Amino acid sequence: MMSIFNKGEGVEVIKQNENDEYSYFPATVLRPPSKNNNMVFVEYQAPTKSRNREYVNVASVRPKLPYELNPWFKVGDSVDAFRPNVTAFSWCPATVSDILENSTYRVDFRGHSAAVDHCSLRLHRDWVNGNWVPPLPQPQPQEQPPETVTRSEKIRIKIKCSRSPQKESEFFKGKIVEVSSDDEGYKGAWFVATIVDIIAKDKFLVEYRDLATEDGTQLLNEVIHERFIRPCPPEVPLAGSFKQFQEVDAWYNDGWWEGVVCEVRNGRECLVSFMNNDVMEFENSKLRPHQDWLDGKWVMSSKESSELVKKFGDVRPEANNLTGNKLIVKLKKSSDPAKRPRDVMERTPITRSKHMLQFCRGAKVEVRSDEEGYQGSWYTAIIVDPLQSSKYLVEYSTLKTDDLTEQLKEVAEAFNIRPCPPDTSGADCFLLHEWVDAWYNDGWWVGQVSRVLGGFKYMVYFWTSKEELEFEYSLLRPHQDWIDGKWVLASLDPRPVR
């Protein structure tokens, strides 16, 4: 029986890899199948590098498995684990093999195992002839609480035991929220987003309102834990101007950044100090009083001066040499080399050498992706046109546009481009712990041989996804580093890969 999917409906696309492993990729139907065509046009909720949208056969699409609260799992349960791999986020079938501490389970996939949090697991179910197997639990009629009768000589007391209702999450699909991050350099920043889907009990797929993907073609989507999400704070009318040492949020770089007013200027502008000791000047229209989300309620910030100093440092104007009537405050230059502007260079995960690169039109190159989840991947491309500011317009050889009608073109930074490495097809067998490039999902991925199998097959470990995959000899090449304008074979690393 063919399933009928409507536009906008949440579905899961079933895909099989070269190891006969199945995964379920969350997606949304953009165009349902027609009478004369059994292909469904879908958009993946966690975009992949090679394609964000594609046509898939209706036989490979099933409805989205409804969310259900699983209080616990036991050894032997068939489950799906929501986990990132080198292509995208997906649900991967597995079996619970052990119960670990801190609500974590050891689950076995085909050929390997991993520790997975409870919130990233669900019971495995198959979609057979329009029904879930095993079937979803049917809602039970609410039972009357049992009566407990306490007898005495003169009085009979009836006590009804009531159950406290389980607190529901504050967040649901379509809700506008603010999202934070504990990444270095982003602490104290909140970005407006919309909840697109509920991934697990405490994980949500959000779409940012003001942040776009690197190519700028679509809004950024990301899976976020509930502890980094809060409702949007209510608007607080400002009586007069801001006050010195008042904690505020400043609109900067597409988000709200927590800071404290260190000087008020003319009642229309303020100097604000941030957690990294940077000081900037803002108009009052780009500031709002800071509020804290505590125990499900918004509380106006009223920190003591000692707490502000601990959070933001010494914010007295004289401590920052903020004197004079016409002061232009600039961001301080960081002493951390990782935060300085990157030179036009080629960098690999193993080496830190640099070499200036220049390419002409028509040159065949490899382009590196530095997107989250794609580190260590290189894609073959042709230089279409050199641009200003050390950038190039490239056309990928294996990647296509969303509608699959033409090859994907993209603007790439020079430090993400290198020449194609020389052919090493005559290489001998690969050794244990040898660094290699594995052909996977339309690109070359840097990994390390973790096991040598029989029949010219190898297990390769990828540090970006912490995954181990099996590859045939023909899909591997020795890893080479581009150092000072020369190709250098990566040396054998005797250390274990994980």
204-229 burial code (b ≥16 CB/10 A, e <16): bbbbbeebeeeeeeebbbbbbeeebb
Same fold, 1-137 and 176-231: yes
User: How does pLDDT run across 283-342, given as a tens digit for each residue?
Assistant: 888 899 999 888 888 888 765 555 665 566 555 444 444 333 222 222 233 333 333 322
3-class DSSP assignment, residue 423: coil
Mean pLDDT of the chain: 76
The proportion of the chain whose per-residue pLDDT surpasses 90, expressed as a percent, equals 18
Q: What is the CATH code of the structural domain delimited by 1-137?
A: 2.30.30.140
Burial (CB count within 10 angstroms: exposed 0-12, middle 13-18, buried 19+), residue 457: middle
| CATH code reported for the domain at 247-320 | 2.30.30
- CA dist., res. 38 & res. 31, Å (int): 11
CATH number of 176-231: 2.30.30
Residue 486 host element (H or E): strand 486-489
CA gap 302, 308 in Å, rounded: 10
242 pLDDT exceeds 50? yes
Hey, CA dihedral for 442, 444, 485, 423, is it positive or negative? negative
Locate the domains of the chain by residue range: 1-137, 176-231, 247-320, 435-489
Q: What is the pTM of this model?
A: 0.38
In the CATH hierarchy, which fold is given to the domain comprising 435-489? SH3 type barrels. (2.30.30)
Query: CB of 472 within 8 A of CB of 465?
Result: no
Calpha distance 160→146 (Å, rounded): 6
E strand map for 323-465: 364-369, 377-387, 391-400, 407-413, 417-419, 435-440, 443-452, 457-462
> CA 414, CA 388: separation in Å to the nearest integer?
10
Position 332 scores a pLDDT of 31
Among the residue ranges 2-6, 95-99, 374-378, 468-472, the one predicted with the least confidence is: 2-6
Cis peptide before 134 (omega within 30 of 0): yes
209 phi and psi, to 5 degrees?
-80, -35
Cα separation, 326 vs 181, in Å, equals: 35
Q: What pLDDT was estimated at residue 349?
A: 37
Query: 189 falls in which pLDDT band (50, 70, 90)?
Result: very high
